[in-house]
Amino acid sequence: MTTSRRLADRKVLKFEKNITKRGAVPETSTKKGKDYPVGPMLLGFFVFVVIGSSLFQIIRTATSGSMA
Which residue ranges make up each domain of the chain?
Answer: 39-67
Residue 55: pLDDT over 90: yes
Q: pLDDT, tens digit, for every residue of 7-42? A: 899 888 888 877 766 666 666 655 666 667 888 899
- pLDDT the model gives residue 31: 60
Cα radius of gyration (the chain):
30
pLDDT category, 67, cuts 50, 70, 90? low
Residue 6: its H or E element: helix 3-21
Q: What is the pLDDT of residue 17?
A: 77
Q: Does the pLDDT of residue 62 top 70, yes or no?
A: yes
> Would you state the pLDDT for residue 43?
92
* Phi (first) and psi of residue 25, to 5 degrees: -90, 130
* SS3 state of residue 54: helix
